[in-house]
Amino acid sequence: MSAASDRLNLVVLISGGGTNLQSLIDAIDAGELSASISAVFSNNSEAFGLQRAEKAGITTHIASHRDYENRSEYDAALADQIVKYQPDFLILAGFMRILSAGFVARFSDRILNIHPALLPKFKGTNTHQRAIDAGEVEHGATVHLVTEALDDGPNLLQARVPVLEGDTAASLQQRVLKEEHRIYPQAIQMLATGKLIIQDGVIKDNNGFSVTN
């Protein structure tokens, strides 16, 4: 946590609509999340989430991968910009780029992601249709620590929703998204209050017991 305050300093990375970013802004405004967002980065200049950030008075940066030769150059430049904000946590909120091992190592134990599935099930994209096709009776969302492997880090929090008869990917996505907006601020608040601690890739409760699953 930054020395100057008892609030977590967050930097949020987005690529799209930014409804999860909005849920964090709203939770902070409502006093439910002891944090402040010092910057929002997007790799996509068209991301609607940038407008949400600007409306909330948050500094925005567009970091387009098209401006760089390769992934490691892009990631190094992005990390260099992010460290200037000295964030306690980097919050991936619909950031549609895989981060290189070098980037993850630079912020180890400090990058969180929300994934629209009950990890370890359905890593990757198109999770809602894949859950329907697999005949799942429940689906959900996971807040997890980001490690080098895609959608693979230990979980902080999950929310489950039923898969209903007649569900389409779109209807299931809406049900899951509602839960994402609930659990992402909640998981970050557990870190802000020390209810959860992340150490060497392990999530622990405030008694030092691993809650990693």
Q: Give me the residue whose beta carbon is nearest to ligand GRF.
A: 94
Stretch that binds ligand GRF, among 3-11, 36-44, 108-116, 185-193 (CB under 6 A): 108-116
Q: Tell which positions 2-21 bind ligand GRF, by CB under 6 A.
A: 14, 16-20
Of 49 and 87, the one with the shorter C-beta distance to ligand GRF is 49
Of 83 and 149, the one with the shorter C-beta distance to ligand GRF is 149
Residue recorded with tokens 């492997």: 149
Cα–Cα dist 42/31, whole Å: 26
Of 117 and 192, the one with the shorter C-beta distance to ligand GRF is 117
Residue recorded with tokens 């060497």: 200
Size of site (CB under 6 A) for ligand GRF? 14
Q: Name every residue whose Cβ is closer than 8 Å to that of residue 11 and which is 6 or more positions away in sequence.
A: 37, 38, 39, 40, 41, 82, 85, 87, 89, 90, 91
Cα–Cα dist 158/122, whole Å: 14
Active site residue 139: no
Given 115, 128, 139, 181, the catalytic residue: 115
Binding mask 131-160 for ligand GRF (x = CB under 6 A): ------------------------------
Closest CA to 181 of 173, 193, 169, 191: 173
Say if residues 113 and 92 touch (Cβ distance below 8 Å).
yes
Residues interacting with ligand GRF, by CB under 6 A? 14, 16-20, 49, 93-94, 114-116, 177, 180
